[in-house]
Structure 1
Amino acid sequence: MSLPVLKNRAARRLFLDRHALAEQPVGPAKGDDLLALIRRLGFVQLDSINTVERAHHMILWSRRQSYRPGALKRLLEKDRRLFEHWTHDASVIPTEFLAHWRLRFARDAETLRSRYRDWQGPEFEAKLDEVLARIAAEGPVRSGEVGEDEARGKGGWWEWHPSKTALEFLWRSGQLAVTRREGFAKVYDLAERVYPEAPALSEAETIDWACGAALDRLGFATTGEIAAFWAKVRPEEAKDWAARALKRGEIEEVAVEGADGARRRSFARPDVIGAADSAPEAPARLRILSPFDPALRDRARAERLFGFHYRIEVFVPEAQRRYGYYVFPVMEGDALIGRLDARARRAEGVLQVAGFWPEPGVRMGKLRLRRLEAELDRLARFAGCDRVAFDPGWLRP
């Protein structure tokens, strides 16, 4: 039996709507409104790179340009309506999902002990009780405040001393929580002092929730994409869930057309074609996205859906880079039209644009250039800069 076909433009429309990119980036962006946006996305990835603004702030700003970083800090560190833990990477997550993270805590405790032992050595295990006892007696700590007598590395990002490794293990396994960040450094406290009480759920309940919630936020997905969304469900568990949900009529199979016309078998909620047809058209204005934007996190899916081949060239030698090592994708409507290399020179009040590379076939006429310059002005203000400056030859072929 042939599958219903979700055409590429309709698939993009639905996908962008589920990622809050099919509407104008206006409206309130604090308190309940900001929490609702993060709940809609599922989570927001944290990242330390700060060439213009940190990734989590740019993700939220690109959807609500009234957003300011203090609003996220309040929800996370004061109101405790968000908590920080792990999806595919460190992320902020609605606290209402905390009960479903018990499974993550248990699985991380099982897998990370052997992984950390192989990577950092077994010494951290002897520090677990010591670190817990110190925090219980003295209160929150940063990694630099424990293991004072332990050898430190010489600046490598992953050169953890044993007590730092113990802190991370205890956090990932749910015994500690990140109570706040100072700069970008995590401050750890006992989990019971930070997390509210959460009901006990069975493994099956969490797997069912995680798979359904992932599919609802993606619009359509393979079982691999469902498993990867929260990165807590195993691939075989996502396959079993899909088989059961399909039998119950809770989902259906659909062929999703890519940018190149190829079709990929996926799962979706019933009447996904109607949902895609009723989804709004993305506005024509330009948006500058974070490299870690949730719509682009899965690079292979972004290429299939938008025809946009995107990698961050951090480890590519400068002479071999086609673009800057950390370029920002630029979206117009439902298309990704280019990539931007920019840096905030805050001491001088300048957002410096080193380059913009249009995608093949994208012509930078006067109207599109005006839209880009207008978005750069908005980004400069968000980054605390007064003006935008352009390097000679910034508009690249």
Structure 2
Amino acid sequence: MTRPFLTNPTARRLFLDRHLLLHPGSGSGKGHDLETVLDGLGFVQIDSVNTLARAHDLILWSRRGQYRPSALETLVARRRTGFEHWTHDAAVIPMRFYPMWRLKFERDEARMRTRWPASRRENWEDELETILKHVADHGAVSSLDVGENEEKKSSGWWDWHPSKTALEYLWRSGRIAVCHRRGFRKYYDLPERVIPQEYLSVRREDAEIVDWAMSEALERLGFATSGELAAFFEIASRDEARAWCAAALAERRIVEADIEMANGARRRCFTTEAMLDRAASLPAPSSRVRILSPFDPVLRDRARTERLFGFRFRIEIFVPEAKRTYGYYVFPVMQGERPIGRLDARRVGQAIRVRAFWPEAGERVGKARRAGLLAEIARIGKLAGTTSVEFLEDWMRA
């Protein structure tokens, strides 16, 4: 039988639809509406870089223009409808997924037991029971509240003092939970004080969790290889993902389809009949110019972004390119289903300072597109808490 085929424009539309960017909603961006967005995405990556807005805030704002950072804090720290843990990186995850994370807790703990002794400061394992007792006796703690007599000066990203390492280990293994943040600093408490009982008490078999992780990943990607499905939540192993795809294909729960890439090549992926039907009826994308976070889930897999959108987006630091080196936090800009450029902008006091906009090759910036870009920069000022925009001379690059 001939495999179903999605043209590149159709595949892009389906991918953006699954990532809530084809036609972002006009909801309130808080409360139940924000929970719906988080559930639709599956998770939102947390990142500390804050040149214009933090990554998680910009990701959510891109889907709900009325979103403000306090809404996510309320969702996690007060409503308890989301929890912080790990996918491929730190993330806020819908609370209803918590029972499925038990398998990740176990597997992350096994990996840490194997790898961390060689890559972390010594003696952190000696602090585990001390930290647990401290949290049980005193409630929420941060890394500042433990390791009183330890050397806390750090020489790098992962050069934590032993008690900080113990805190992170206990969190990643599910023995404590993030209860709230102050600024960007995490505070931890026992899971029974953070996770609602209706989720804390649930137990699932490993096979059920793998099936859930793969099915939910496909629902949020629209089409994918087995490796891409495994990478979504980072719960199922690559071998488990391949086995799941083979079984689901035999059971006709999924189908294979050829997806046209930006260069015209075809890539065989898994999808569902329902997803193919959806792809056939999707409307044209919004024509609004959109500033995205470099960590936006639609761009998370850089190789996939390049294949599907023809957009080579890499975060490069100190790379001596003769032609051009983009900074660490240059923002991708899309219009419709196409990446149209990269924006270098940052918050300086009460202003957004726009240093440069580089159009992608072949993308013209006429009056209408320029006006759309300026309008989006003005809109993002509400998220960034700024009152004006400054443009450096020659900010619009060739």
Q: Normalising by structure 1, report the TM-score.
A: 0.97
What is the aligned partner in structure 2 of residue 282 from structure 1?
285
Q: What is the one-letter code of the residue matched to 1:107?
A: R
Q: Quick one: distance in 2 between partners of 1:154 and 1:110?
A: 25
Moved more, 183-192 or 217-226: 183-192
- SS of equivalent to 2:297: coil
What is the aligned partner in structure 2 of residue 386 from structure 1?
387
- Kept after mapping to 1: 8 A contact 2:24/2:62: no
Q: Deviations over 1:131-151 (max 9, x none)?
A: 101111111111121111112
- Kept after mapping to 1: 8 A contact 2:319/2:325: no
Identify the match of residue 266 of structure 1 among 253, 269, 288.
Answer: 269
Identity of aligned residues (%): 53
Q: Quick one: distance in 2 between partners of 1:247 and 1:140?
A: 49
What is the aligned partner in structure 2 of residue 213 from structure 1?
216
- Kept after mapping to 1: 8 A contact 2:176/2:188: yes
Identify the match of residue 340 of structure 1 among 338, 343, 346.
Answer: 343
- Kept after mapping to 2: 8 A contact 1:330/1:338: yes
What is the aligned partner in structure 1 of residue 101 from structure 2?
101
Q: Quick one: distance in 1 between partners of 2:155 and 2:78?
A: 32
What is the aligned partner in structure 2 of residue 10 from structure 1?
10
Q: 1:315 deviation in Å?
A: 4.5
- Kept after mapping to 2: 8 A contact 1:23/1:280: no
Map 1:75-224 → 2, pairs under 5 A? 75-154=75-154, 156-197=156-197, 198=199, 199-224=202-227
Q: 1:115 deviation in Å?
A: 1.2
What is the aligned partner in structure 1 of residue 33 from structure 2?
33
Q: 1:235 deviation in Å?
A: 0.5
2:329 is the alignment partner of 1:326: yes
Q: What is the one-letter code of the residue matched to 2:233?
A: W
What count of residue pairs does the alignment treat as equivalent? Answer: 395
Q: What is the one-letter code of the residue matched to 1:394?
A: W
Moved more, 62-71 or 19-28: 19-28
Q: 1:152 deviation in Å?
A: 2.2
Q: Deviations over 1:334-387 (max 9, x none)?
A: 000000000011x2x110000000000001111110000000100122211111
Q: Deviations over 1:6-37 (max 9, x none)?
A: 11011011110010001145222111111001
Residues 81 and 138 of structure 1: is their aligned pair in 2 closer, same or farther, counting only changes over 3 Å? same
Q: Quick one: distance in 2 between partners of 1:190 and 1:271?
A: 41
What is the aligned partner in structure 2 of residue 351 from structure 1?
352
Q: Quick one: distance in 1 between partners of 2:263 and 2:129?
A: 55
Q: 1:113 deviation in Å?
A: 1.5
Q: 1:155 deviation in Å?
A: 5.1
Q: Quick one: distance in 2 between partners of 1:319 and 1:341?
A: 19
Q: Deviations over 1:182-233 (max 9, x none)?
A: 1111111112211123310000000000000000100000000000000111
- Kept after mapping to 2: 8 A contact 1:112/1:169: yes
Q: Quick one: distance in 2 between partners of 1:112 and 1:317?
A: 35
Q: Deviations over 1:254-290 (max 9, x none)?
A: 0110010000110001254322111232100100000
Residues 334 and 232 of structure 1: is their aligned pair in 2 closer, same or farther, counting only changes over 3 Å? same
Alignment RMSD: 1.4
Q: 1:116 deviation in Å?
A: 1.1
- Kept after mapping to 1: 8 A contact 2:121/2:160: no
Q: Quick one: distance in 2 between partners of 1:25 and 1:117?
A: 46
- Kept after mapping to 1: 8 A contact 2:16/2:22: yes
- SS of equivalent to 2:311: coil
